[in-house]
Structure 1
């Protein structure tokens, strides 16, 4: 006797050793398909009777009741009288071997079957799947289920895991693979909002769904574990195979392998990916806005005609040393609290939008104005915002004198009083005009300190693209606070170590002067908070062109 088994939609067949007696084959697979090929059925007592329409309806009714209870159903049948397989032993030279190698012979072999019965298997979804589906919906990710299961079974499971609501009308959202392929406008069906279900799907159906979604501009992630999922996994933007239950073919065709076969891990990976992307943008946002500020300060100095506020060694120190630790620490930013509630970005979205570039320019412009402004304030104001700046005894000049400092030798009666900076005494009795070059050391120190402080505060702005510091306070990233401390510590080092202060051309600052630095630097936080508020208020406008990602799930 020859046992011949056929299982599943893909007609997978395995053969065992022949036994003595009549040759026969056993068939298992989708109940509807097995029943369609059967002409008789076996009773409990072993008698075989004709399969009439009434019995067929009773079997289909039982199938409906079992499948609507989320049971996966398999039908079983067998066929006798396959004399050509009576002596088949698996050798290639046997005539029956050629029959098995030709798929066109399967329909004749799997015909006039004797139906034995059906069985329902309960495969309950994991508890965390329902919440993962809800997280996908909140994140703008559409979940499509593509399965070979019976339609009623698939619909019951989809309601159970939250793809569809308990009372939702899914008549237009649940189709078999064949019904979908017969639609006149398949893309229009795929554009429907909410979840979609494709049951009794074959490998070509899965591949076609992924292809149509990609043609429509969607970013498609496909999950699967079987050999028949491999073509769709390969075609998807992100193929995700199961690490435990997945076949080697599926793993080779995929881009990512889940070690725990857990759908919620995919959702967590999406959140992690969004966080990495946001941190990359935070680094770029911080570095570009800071560099724009440095360029703006140099440009404003030249445009206003005032003495140079920063020398090259100071700018190099800020770029290479002071800015480095905060920029690195921004890579450890935690995810925004609403990161999984934001709509997904389009695959062709630019890293820097027009709005973000505008923010860079505003912040950079303020950095330049503050850095140059504090230089002018020291020369022209005795006090600023109630902070006394005359403690060192330096001489005040008018803005017009500062802007025309190159004409100083032609000024009549211009004198400058001696003043102290740190432990150094500056006197200009012989040449008062040196006051704008050798005497600018205090003003230059203030400019450098403002630049360092303002960039440290600007790093706090980079914690979140649109989230306020009231929602994401600085301590959510301890590494950033440590990096800011390191940068400030390095600045204090070059300020208060005499040898280093001489190398960098700066002098120590008094308490009042530090208060001035903070008063000029802190508004960068307020400015960015206002810009973030505007960004949140207009987020619908900025994201109006964003498409929702699709995540078909094959079963």
Structure 2
């Protein structure tokens, strides 16, 4: 991802191309940006202009590359040399069993046990591989969910809410608020709040939300230094602003990441395990071929006889039945030498490893990749979102004691945004004094984060610290929750004042309804 970010604005894939040239919006002031994109932040684009630019740049969405067909997935499962040897042995065994049954006049099921068992092993092996790779391909499609679905846009002088994000074009004026997912790469035109902070760890790996401004930066600045730009797929965690769309679709930063993933998937090398299995299969094929040929040649005299007349062999006699019999012996030796269970054991072990990794939200596209990870000695990785989840949780609550000059503390269980994940130890449920109630009230209302359930887990919008405080209030157990009548019906937020220059400080102005 970092590589794609460093190239932003330095290659032909990026920069505004409305006039067949690259326009580095991050290095220009607001007025220059508006002039270049031929738009006013007070009016926005006209409907006709939007249609014109939509025809030039296309929809604001990631390309849908053709997935791997089911037939190709099936054929890929039989690409290993060892699997091909097993398949050939099974086919030959089946044909010989069939011929024996026709010659003997009876078809005994026992004659087909060996080839059927081999076929069953290969089928199960292929099913497991196809199932795993199909699931991985579907999981990779989740990258597209990083894109925003809707946006608030100014067009024809009117504010259009919930516009499908795919209809955005370069030059659109977009309004962003806390919790919004940025729908495209955009230049910040003005701040509505005193500050603006964006969580862009999914793109740059930065552990903390980044403060954004309207001030231009040098043209050769890397992605982390572009403080006047917000990028598609990132999230506004604090403040609100008005922005100008500069790039859409595959020309955005997340679009370049998507392209890199697709290119990498097209150029896959064999893993160490697959290389060793192929080498073993080739060696086994050579050894089995030599042994079978020797066994058959040694027994030639039993199915091919001749007489010498005047020193020359004549009167050749050939017995097809005996020839087939000794050929079966050679094939039986070959099948016995092939480790039929090896592919199944390897696939099962890799599938179990993949399953454990899936429980930790790790996507494995190819089963042999699990073994490759096991051979890895050094892993270079960023921290946030990779080694950590970029989530905060309250671990201890300290409040004034019941007597002057004393303190009391409560340990808080749980590490996720799920309010039912753990509880507060020794908590006076239903008997909170005024001090604990005030702590809970401040944590709930002096807070612009939101926590909501999404499918089987809870997600937060806003600063992770603020979200952790919201979860704490739920665990404290206020009657009616954090949106109870005591706080929601009697008070409303007039304005929020985040103070990033003062650590751990946040203030709000409320209107109180008696």
TM-score by length of 1: 0.26
Q: Which has the larger radius of gyration?
A: 1
Greater helix proportion: 1
